[in-house]
Structure formats: structure tokens, C-alpha cells
Amino acid sequence: MAAPENGAAQFNATGEAVAKGTLVLEMPEVPRERIEAIIQCYPPERRYALAVMQDMQHSFDYLPRTALELLAEYMSFPLAQLYSMATSYKALSLKPKGRHIIKVCDGTACHIKASLNIIDELDRLLGIRPGDVTPDGQFSLETVNCLGSCALAPVVLIDGTHYGKVTLEKLSGILESYKPGGECDG
Amino acid sequence: MAENTRKLLVCCDTGCLANNARAVADALEAALAAAGLDVAVERGSAELKRTGCIGQCSHGPIVKVHPDDICYYRVKPKHAEKIVASLGGEPYQPLLYRDFDGEPKLREADNPFYAHQKKIALRHVGLIDPLSLDDYLEAGGYEALKKALTMEPQDIINEIKASGLRGRGGAGFLTGNKWQAAASYPAQPKYVVCNGDEGDPGAFMDRSLLEGDPHSVIEGLIIAALAVGAEQGYLYIRDEYELALPVVATALKQAEAAGYLGSSIQGSGRKLHLEIVRGGGAFVCGESSALMASIEGRVGEPRSKYIRSVERGLWDKPTVLNNVETLANVPFILSYGSGEFAKIGTAGSKGTKVFSLVGKVKRSGLVEVPMGITLRSLIFDIGGGIADRRSFKAIQTGGPSGGCLPESLLDLEVDFESLTDHHTMVGSGGMIVMDDRSCMVEVAHYYVDFLCGESCGKCTPCREGLRHMREILENICKGQGKASDLEELEDLAFALQEASLCGLGKTAANPVLSTLRYFPEEYEAHIKERRCPAGVCKPLTLMQIDQEACTSCRACLKACPLGSVKETPAASPDQKATYHIDPALCTACGSCREACRFEAVVAVRREATCA
Ligand SMILES: Cc1cc2nc3c(=O)[nH]c(=O)nc-3n(C[C@H](O)[C@H](O)[C@H](O)COP(=O)(O)O)c2cc1C
Ligand code: FES
């Protein structure tokens, strides 16, 4: 895998190298103190590496390169191994996410109720595929497995709000409220 | 419960929360507060509880009134006042469950969804407040632990063995034997681990247990630790379970404060410390050796199984790993005796199993049923049959490691053996019902694609075999299948089963093998006729309007996001407008077909791809 040049985002959410010409988001810089504050909550033992990265993911929405470097140093642990964990666990991402995170459930119950159509329709409306962020940084799109609301399939989760029995007809209305100035775009 | 104390139970589990349950609970609280001023004396004090999942998520949010045992469904905040006003008097009719006979059903037990169920693992879920230790104690909680403390470890193991309890996490290993093996190794320290990774993309019983009755799982884990002699344990829970994590963390603190955990459990001198480890959301991390690697802070990859984890698991020490639901059964067995458990079920599979009955059934949600129930009873008695007047095609069980069973097997009695004999498994308990609009080839592709993404890539058969299978299935779905594909799929399946390192690869071919076996005609239609009989595979399908059946209701026109339904206005006032679908615009998403209530939208073969 290509080495990132000067720490800029060359990787998408699943850690694959992003093709040339793909829009790459600005990586928001995270102050060193905030990173250190998280790291210091845990003893320097390897078994806490995942927990630290999860906390960073929750706080920063992605794992900045500096954060991984600091963690590697603190745990006396090769950066490459942290990188391998960061790319193998779905909950971790090396790329910042959009302002609103759209998660389309593609668990089995949702799948057989045509969740892929929802993904296609979101592609049509926003121009992004799962793993991508819109150029204005407003939305990122992900697929997830079973949200535990199968009885309401197909289910879409936007920033923690569940939408059940979603139809393509309803979808654009839901999205509108998350666009700049929309009622859910607080 | 004081005589005139009434409780309102509002299900606040994920399914109902998605249906606005929190607003309902808030509205009820407000309505109770408002009403409390003038009418409190007549009604007694109504105490509002927030509970876990009652099960029938398709009809949520659900509010239960205790002790009257009245169940209200599809409650909206605006109904709060009506419900509060009805307390102690006539039930509020519009919200009662109505079955197909139209008769309102007052009690939970009258609802056929519950009538066939038998709750052991879920015995407290939906009845107690998961955040209240007192509730759990009142329901008989931690009695089993107190009993265990008076028993020899071997007697605990014997009791679990006698119950016949088998692991609910997938493999169905006898729990008593697993504990016995771990207990037999002298190495110290030993560990107990609860597997709450729940990676099956269509099952959520473990989450429901962790959210709705965390103390049962914790109590089961403590008993396991006493039986094998462990002083440290872990609960491995997915990081995505945002509700379950804080609930379990609170329960652990409560148990510790009350002396059920810690340096001397109930003053017995026995120690146990439990810790939560958050999983990173990788399906393979549910596999025992990968899970342990993940707890140790390594990448979650499995190892070969020549050394078993009961001998050398976490940090190479004897380790017992049990699934959430398995552990929730343990306190029941100790409290009521192994006989109470063993009298339910089949010869080889005792007790009950929780299934998530979802997909195209009328009533769906979590159900707990005796082992040995037939698929027919599950789907038709409990699930109420197939939704939207469609016909049954298949039921998928066991998640990505399981398979699809056809109508001819509806009378199969569900247990560990019977399903394994038919190219599927109980697995974690997903039961996804499919109708004639589900394509079996596409379903096989779905699982193989899922597993491709989740394969850790360590062993070649799984990494490369799955990828190759996916490619073949993709081609078939696109109408580019070859006659030789089916044989190649079988060969790959065999290689996966024989040569993969862990259970993920070994069972990965089940979705393909079972659909090949029970639905060969669907594969053939795709390959030979370039046609998808279910009308799902888009490159092969176009939607058309059957002019005879069309009532000009315009539902399809509204449902199509692409504007491909075209209207021809009526030529004269006594005629109706006609509709047709522009094949150039139609992507065969099927929204129009779903919207049509007159069977007037039909899927036909897309000619363009049939060159
Ligand atoms: C790929 C794979 C994924 C698994 N996922 C889970 C899971 O999510 N939850 C679970 O309890 N067991 C899972 N298992 C089964 C575990 O390996 C293990 O058998 C189980 O947790 C043991 O507990 P039990 O005996 O109580 O069932 C999985 C197995 C494999 C091969
Ligand atoms: S499959 Fe989508 S919520 Fe379960």
C-alpha cells in the first residue's frame, strides 16, 4: 500500500488508497493536547490500543496520523501494527467523516427489503457511494449490518436518528432536513 | 407490588426507539404528572418504567399496563392522555392488538405472537428496568449465584451438564463440557469471557438481552467463573451497541457495589473482576480465537484450532467463552433446577432458543420458542404468515454461515442437528422469511459478498475462494453466467469447507450450497434464460404495467423516484388514464411494484441484456 505523503488523506474509510483525482477532504488538525489527553486515560499496555483508538474515533471522527504516531510511541508499539488494526476494524477510519453520517442498514432483513435501492438513490441524490463524503463535507455515507430494528426494515440511521420503513419516495424529504439550513442541520 | 400500584412499561429498545418510544414515555410521564393532581387516589400510583424489548417490534412502540396485563401497540405521544385516563377503567380500545379476526386482544398472552413462546433467556426482558438492580433482585435475581456459592464447583458443572444446555453462539457446544474441560486444567489464572460481538447481520437477541436484562448475563458469567475457578473475566461487546454498553457498565458497577462481584463475592472469599472490552465491528472477531486476540490487543485474526481455548485461550491460559444468550440461561438452570430446563426441547437440543423472526412476515420481532418447534409454526402461528398477501419462498437461518430452506421443509423441527443436516444451522438465531420477490441467487451473493468483506485474509481458501465465488455469483446475477458455473461453485464450496482456518470459511459456502440444492431452477433461469424470476436482479429485469389489472390509481407514478412511469391522459371522460413504464429510464428498483396493490406491476425479462 502506498505510503501517505506528508500525512495527507490518501486513504478512504476502509484504508484503501484513494485513486488520483478523487476529491480528498481537508484533514482537520487535532491539537496534540487533546490526543494526549485520551492516550493518558489508559496504561501503556498493548491491550488498550483498540480502546484508545475507539475513543479517538468518537472524539475526532477519524484517526489522525499524528494520533497514531503518538499512541505508537506511548505503547512502544510499531505504528504498522496500529495501522493494521485501524484498517481491519470497521469502527475505525483514517479519513474524516461528513457533518452528517448516513448509515444505511444492509443487514439481511433490510437487504431483502431493497436496501441497495436506497444506496443507489442516495448516490443519485448526493453523488456518493458508501465510504465517501460529499465534496462540501455535509454528508458521509456508510453501510452497516443490522441495526436491530429489522422489524422496521429498511432502516436508515442519520446521526443517531432511526428512520424505519424508508421508501425512495421519502428519502429526499429526509435528506432535505439535513442539508445546510435544514431543521436537523443544527 | 403494593395492591393498587400500577406500572406502565414502555419498551425503549432500539426497535421502539426508532418508532419514537422516548417521546411516548415522556408524554406518558407528563400526562401522569398532570393527572396525578386530581385523580391519584382512584388510580393508585402509576410508576413508569423504561424497559427492554418486549419483542413485537413491528408493532411498536409498545406500552404495557401492569398488573392489568394490558398491551397497547403503535402508541403515539398523542395517545398518552387517553391511556392515563383509562388506567383502572376500560382499556383504551383503539390501541389494542387486533389480529386478522379483527377482535381486540387485551392481554399479551391473547396475542398469538406471544402465545406460542416460552421465555427463559428473555424471562426478564421487557418486565424489569435494566438499570435497576432492585428490579432484578425482586425478580429473583442473584439467587442462583447465592446457591452456586454454597455448591462445589463440580456440582455446578454437573447441574449445567444435566440441563443439556448447548452454546447459543453458533456451534452448539455443550456448555457443561466446556466448563468441565476448563476446570480440569491446573494452569492459573483462568478467564471467563462473554461473547457479545453479535456479528450476524440479521440477529439482535444478544443486544436485546444486554440492553434489557444485563444482570442475568453478568450473573451467568459469575457462575461460570465460580465453576471453573476464574478470577478475571471480560465482556466483549461491539462498540456500535451504543445503548448496551452503558447499560452493562452500570450493571457491573451495581453488582460490584452490592458485593456480587469484587474481592469477596458475598463474603465468600471468592474473587471475580469483570471488565468490558469494546469490539471493533469485525464479524470474524466473534470467532473465539480472533476474539481473544482482539482482547489481547492484537489484530482480530483466528488461529488454528489444534489447541483449544479451554486449555490455552486468553494469554495462553484456560479460558471459557460463552455467548450472551447461553449465559442468560445459566441462572435459570441453577435457580429452577436442570430438570426444568431439560424437559423443554428435543432429544439433543434442550431448552429454548431466541430467534429474530424478520423479513416478509406479518408479525416480526424477537421470539423465544422451545427447541423443536416447526418452521411452519414459527412463520405462520407466531409470524402470522407472509406479509402483503404474497407467498412463502424460503426461510434463511443461521446468518452468513447458514442457508435457505424451501417450502417442502416447513415441517422441519428446529434444533441444532436438524438444521445442520439441511445445509444450514441455528447459528445465532436469525430467521429471515423470504417471499416470491426474493431472489435466491442474489441472497447467496449477498452473503458471499458480506463474508468476502469480513474474511480476515489470513488463509488462502477463504480469502481467494470467497472472492472467486462472489465473482461467479455476480456474473450470474448480471446475466453473464455460464453452464459450468454451478459445478465450479460446488468445487469452491468444497475447498472452503475442507481447507479454511476458522469457522467463517468452513461454513461460508452454506448460503450457496443450500440455494443450489433447494432452488436450482432459479440459478438455471438466470444462466439459461437470462431471467430473474423474482424480478430482483436489475440487469435482467424491467418493470411493466399490466393494463388489464391497472386501476389507474397512480401509486406507481408517485413511488418512482426517476419519473419513469408515464401517464397518457384519458381520451374521453368515461375512460381512464393509462400508464406505462419507460424502459430506457427504469432501473428495475421495484418501488412501483411494491407500491401497487393490484398486482398490476410485473417484472419482465429485460431484453437488452439477452443478446
Ligand atoms: C466467524 C464466526 C463468527 C462468530 N460470531 C459469534 C458471535 O457474534 N457471537 C457469539 O456468541 N459467537 C460467535 N461465534 C461462535 C464463537 O466462536 C463461539 O463458539 C461462541 O461464542 C461460544 O459460546 P457458546 O458455546 O456459548 O455458544 C462465531 C464463530 C465464527 C466462526
Ligand atoms: S437488518 Fe436492518 S435493522 Fe436488522
Residue-wise pLDDT for A123-181, tens only, equals: 999 999 998 999 999 999 999 888 878 888 899 999 878 898 899 989 999 999 999 88
| Angle formed at CA B309 by CA B306 and CA B310, multiple of 5 degrees | 115
Q: What percent of chain B has pLDDT over 90?
A: 69
Banded pLDDT at A22 (limits 50, 70, 90) = very low
Residue B418 · residue B397 · CB < 8 Å = no
pLDDT at B85: 87
pLDDT at B3: 43
Distance of alpha carbon B374 from alpha carbon B355, whole angstroms: 13
For residue B354, what are the β-bridge partners? B368
Q: Which residues of chain A make contact with B14, given a CB cutoff of 8 A?
A: 147-149, 162
Ligand nearest to the CA of B330: 1
Q: Which of B206, B299, B443 to mutate to test the interface with A (most CBs of A within 10 A)?
A: B299
Residue B542 · residue B560 · CB < 8 Å = no
pLDDT at A8: 39
Distance of alpha carbon B340 from alpha carbon A138, whole angstroms: 56
Q: Which residues of chain B make contact with A112, given a CB cutoff of 8 A?
A: 359-360, 432, 434, 438, 443
The answer for residues whose C-beta is within 8 angstroms of residue B566's C-beta and 6 or more apart is B579, B580, B581, B582
Whole-angstrom CA distances from B313 to B77, B286, B289, B455 are 50, 14, 7, 22
Q: What is the mean pLDDT of residues B556-562?
A: 93
Distance of alpha carbon B127 from alpha carbon B7, whole angstroms: 10
Q: Which of B43-52, B194-203, B343-352 has the lowest mean pLDDT?
A: B43-52
Q: Minimal Cα–Cα distance from A140 to chain B, Å?
A: 17
Residue B299 · residue B182 · CB < 8 Å = no
Residue A100 parent element (H or E): strand A100-105
Distance of alpha carbon B220 from alpha carbon B194, whole angstroms: 9
Q: Do A121 and B297 touch (CB under 8 A)?
A: no
Q: What is the mean pLDDT of residues B135-157?
A: 97
Distance of alpha carbon B476 from alpha carbon B493, whole angstroms: 17
Q: Which of A56-70, B32-46, B408-422, B516-530 has the lowest mean pLDDT?
A: B32-46
Tracing cell 418512482 back to the chain, one arrives at: B560
Beta B601-605 vs B541-545: how paired, if at all?
antiparallel
Q: Which residues of chain B make contact with A111, given a CB cutoff of 8 A?
A: 443, 446
The answer for residues whose C-beta is within 8 angstroms of residue B388's C-beta and 6 or more apart is B360, B435
The answer for residues whose C-beta is within 8 angstroms of residue B578's C-beta and 6 or more apart is B547, B550, B552, B567, B568, B570
Residue B479 · residue B517 · CB < 8 Å = no
| More confident of the two residues B55 and B124 | B124
| Cβ-nearest to B300 among A49, A88, A162 | A88
Domains and CATH numbers, chain B: 6-110 (3.40.30.10), 133-341 (3.40.50.11540), 352-435 (3.10.20.600), 440-528 (1.20.1440.230), 538-610 (3.30.70.20)
Distance of alpha carbon B316 from alpha carbon B295, whole angstroms: 12
Count CB neighbours of B572 within 10 A: 5
Distance of alpha carbon A53 from alpha carbon A63, whole angstroms: 7
Beta B392-397 vs B430-435: how paired, if at all?
antiparallel
pLDDT at B607: 78
Distance of alpha carbon A99 from alpha carbon A82, whole angstroms: 26
* Secondary structure of B87-117 as H, E, C letters: CCCCCCHHHEEECCCCCEECCHHHCHHHHCC
Distance of alpha carbon B97 from alpha carbon B116, whole angstroms: 16
Q: Which of B30-34, B187-191, B474-478, B482-486 has the lowest mean pLDDT?
A: B30-34
Residue-wise pLDDT for B425-469, tens only, equals: 999 899 999 999 999 999 999 999 999 999 988 999 999 999 999
Handedness of CA B121, B126, B129, B135 (dihedral sign): negative
Distance of alpha carbon B598 from alpha carbon A29, whole angstroms: 57
Tracing cell 477519524 back to the chain, one arrives at: A62
Kindly give the number of the ligand 1 atom that is closest to the alpha carbon of B291. 17
Its ipTM equals: 0.84
Considering only CA atoms, which of B344, B343, B371, B339 is closest in space to residue B355? Answer: B371
Kindly give the number of the ligand 1 atom that is closest to the alpha carbon of B197. 8
Q: Which residues of chain B make contact with A146, given a CB cutoff of 8 A?
A: 200-204
Q: Do A106 and B358 touch (CB under 8 A)?
A: no
DSSP result, B289-310: HHHHHHHTTS------TTS-TT
pLDDT at A13: 41
Residue A148 · residue B204 · CB < 8 Å = yes
> Which amino acid makes up residue A154?
P
| Cβ-nearest to B359 among A48, A112, A171 | A112
Residue B53 · residue B212 · CB < 8 Å = yes
pTM of the model: 0.89
Q: Is residue B170 scored above 70 in pLDDT? A: yes
501-540 of B, contacting A, C-beta below 8 A: none
Does residue A108's CB lie within 6 angstroms of at least one atom of ligand 2? yes
Count CB neighbours of B1 within 10 A: 10
- The three three-digit cell numbers of residue A163, written as one number: 428512520
Q: Which residues of chain A make contact with B299, given a CB cutoff of 8 A?
A: 81, 84-85, 88
Residue A84 parent element (H or E): helix A79-88
Q: What is the mean pLDDT of residues B315-329?
A: 97
Q: What is the DSSP letter of A18?
A: P
Distance of alpha carbon B536 from alpha carbon B603, whole angstroms: 8
Banded pLDDT at B47 (limits 50, 70, 90) = low
- The three three-digit cell numbers of residue B312, written as one number: 490455552
Q: What is the DSSP letter of B274?
A: E
Banded pLDDT at B111 (limits 50, 70, 90) = confident
pLDDT at B113: 83
What residue in A sits closest to B21 (Cα-Cα)? A162
CA of A151 to the centre of ligand 2 (A): 8
327-366 of B, contacting A, C-beta below 8 A: 356, 358-360, 364-365
DSSP result, B358-384: EESBSS-EEEEEETT-BHHIIIIIIS-
On whether any CB of chain A is under 8 Å from the CB of B388, the answer is no
Residue B353 · residue B368 · CB < 8 Å = yes
Q: Minimal Cα–Cα distance from A46 to chain B, Å?
A: 5
pLDDT at A87: 87
Residue B191 · residue B314 · CB < 8 Å = yes
Q: Is residue B1 scored above 70 in pLDDT? A: no
In three-state secondary structure terms, B380 is helix
Q: Is residue B45 scored above 70 in pLDDT? A: no
Tracing cell 474473587 back to the chain, one arrives at: B271
Banded pLDDT at A61 (limits 50, 70, 90) = confident
Q: Do B278 and A54 touch (CB under 8 A)?
A: yes
Q: Do B280 and A107 touch (CB under 8 A)?
A: no
Domains and CATH numbers, chain A: 1-94 (no CATH), 100-176 (3.40.30.10)
Distance of alpha carbon B13 from alpha carbon B52, whole angstroms: 5
Put the strands of the sheet holding B63-66 in their side by side order.
Answer: B46-51, B6-11, B63-66, B70-72
Considering only CA atoms, which of B523, B493, B520 is closest in space to residue B508? Answer: B493
Residue nearest to atom 10 of ligand 1 (CA): B169
Tracing cell 431471467 back to the chain, one arrives at: B531
On whether any CB of chain A is under 8 Å from the CB of B191, the answer is no
Q: Do B399 and A81 touch (CB under 8 A)?
A: no
Banded pLDDT at A12 (limits 50, 70, 90) = very low
Q: What is the DSSP letter of A152?
A: G
For chain B, the distance separating the N- and C-terminal CA atoms, rounded to the nearest angstrom, is 74
In three-state secondary structure terms, B194 is strand
Angle of helix B520-528 relative to helix B440-454, nearest 10 degrees, comes to: 90
Q: Is residue B474 scored above 90 in pLDDT? A: yes
Q: Which residues of chain A make contact with B358, given a CB cutoff of 8 A?
A: 108-109, 150-151, 153
Ligand 1 neighbours (beta carbon < 6 A): B 167-171, 173, 195, 197-199, 283-284, 286-288, 321-323, 326, 428, 502-504
Q: Is residue B276 scored above 70 in pLDDT? A: yes
